[in-house]
Amino acid sequence: MSRTSSRVLSVLLGTGAAWAQVPPPALPAPSVSPYPTVQLTLAQALRTALDQNPRVQQSLLAIAESGDDRRAAAAALMPQVGAQAYGQRAKNNLDAFIGVPTPGGPQVVGPFNWGQVGVEAQVSLFDLSLWKKWRASRHAEDATRAQGRAVREEIAALVVGQYLRALRAGASVTAGESRVELAEALAKLAENQQKQGVGTRLDTLRSQLQLQTERQRLIQAQTQRLTALAGLGRLLDLKPGTRIELADTLTAPALPTAGFDQAYEAGLAQRPELAALEAREKAAENLRQAAQGLRLPTLVATGAYGSTGLQSQPWATTYQVSLGLRVPLFTGGLVSSHISRAKSEQSRVQEARRDVRAQVGYEVQVAQAELDAAAHEVEVANLAVSLSTEALTQARHRFEAGVSNNIEVINAQDELARATDNQISALYRLNQSRVDLARATGQLEQTFAR
């Protein structure tokens, strides 16, 4: 070894020794948090989000508004009844009032006071346009309800995904704490080996360096857990600063057994997007028929019943009944424009439905493929953890016996860390693939909210 290389190595060893002797920073004393703490299972988190999330509440308001539109459309088909009462003081030209001259009679009568009180009603007996508009409003309400279910599925997917990310971060923290404990034990072993003359100072420095690396990884995992829990609290609309504790753990779930055909048919039957498009298509068809109904005659019945008389004279009961027929002859292109617009909406909905059906098939196919792959990854990752754990045990025994230095131990630690991370990632992907398949088939809420 050259003199320059020896000097560089001495500087590195000296720096490493000084760094290794620096104790880890002292943690601040725990204090009582002013923020509440909630413990949530996945089902509880999902139900909380579906009860409190602002987007879900907005969809409920949209459903209520569509119900108001339906009732307004139905009101046009119902009788309209009103009460009236009025008085009048009049002075009239008698000839002009009766329409013929009255020779020798007075030209002007009055002034006199008279009044009338009663009720009047009007009802549409036949108006196809109003009837079809009411039917269209019912289908529009169904479409809004289906869109509300789609919003719930979307929020459920976000909540479940965020909960799984928080579980993955929590599993990484647990694994990181175990690795730090192991690194501390191995660092202590290397120090004892050096004191007994079996190990070297270089072994001690390598173990100290590995300990600091594991501590850094633990800090990163803890930060990821905090950010994941904060994101979950935001989705649940919890008070900022609320501490969340997850009651579930990241484990391999029970996998569905349905094949592609069954899952695809379930998606077509239960996806709220398709239900909304079907209701929109029916509404557009009724609006088209309502526009065509504007060309048909309408039949309206009106009636009035009351009492009329002079102010100082007995009043007499009066009534009036009429039946009116209206036949449209020219509408200036209004009917044709409404029909064309309704047909355009129908075509738009049909194309959107065709696209969604293809999207459902794609999502089911991809989710099932990822689910199968993730299940095999979990099996491989579990075996890798078992093998790396055994390799670390063997390397540690060899180092304790003085047969080798701790390079083998450090390498085995790294291999175990990678195997553990791969195992956590595989479990996360397996759970997320199950979520994706449930959403593709329109069964996300009913699967995870129970």
pLDDT along the chain (450 residues), means of 10: 37 35 46 73 90 88 91 88 86 78 76 85 87 90 91 91 94 92 88 83 87 92 93 88 90 86 91 91 90 88 87 84 87 86 90 92 93 93 93 86 79 89 94 93 85
Characterize 389-409 residue by residue with b for buried, 16 or more Cβ atoms within 10 angstroms of its Cβ, and e for exposed.
Answer: eebbeebbebbeeeeebbebb
CB 17 within 8 A of CB 201: yes
Rounded Cα distance, 360 and 267, in Å: 6
Strand 80-93 with 316-326, pairing: unpaired
Identify the pLDDT of residue 163: 94
Identify the pLDDT of residue 191: 87
Beta-carbon count within 10 A of 16 CB: 17
Beta-carbon count within 10 A of 103 CB: 6
Q: Where are the beta strands (DSSP E) in 228-349?
A: 243-246, 298-310, 316-326
Characterize 170-179 residue by residue with b for buried, 16 or more Cβ atoms within 10 angstroms of its Cβ, and e for exposed.
Answer: bbbbbbbeeb
Identify the pLDDT of residue 361: 93
Identify the pLDDT of residue 34: 67
Q: Which CATH superfamily is domain 42-80+126-295+334-448 in?
A: Outer membrane efflux proteins (OEP) (1.20.1600.10)
Identify the pLDDT of residue 2: 39
Identify the pLDDT of residue 33: 56
Name the 3-class secondary structure at 330.
coil
Q: Which residues have a Cβ under 8 Å from the Cβ of 411 and sit 6 or more positions away?
A: 395
Rounded Cα distance, 230 and 245, in Å: 11
Question: If we measure between CA atoms, which residue out of 368, 364, 367, 144 comes closest to residue 272?
Answer: 144
Rounded Cα distance, 189 and 399, in Å: 9
In the chain, % helix, strand, coil (3-state, to 5) comes to 65, 15, 20
CB 114 within 8 A of CB 308: yes
Question: If we measure between CA atoms, which residue out of 329, 288, 321 comes closest to residue 123?
Answer: 321
Rounded Cα distance, 194 and 187, in Å: 11
Identify the pLDDT of residue 311: 76
Question: If we measure between CA atoms, which residue out of 425, 327, 332, 448 comes closest to residue 377?
Answer: 425
The residues that bridge with 298 in the sheet, in sequence order, are: 326
Q: Which residues have a Cβ under 8 Å from the Cβ of 303 and sit 6 or more positions away?
A: 120, 121, 122, 319, 320, 321, 322
Q: Where are the domains of the chain?
A: 42-80+126-295+334-448
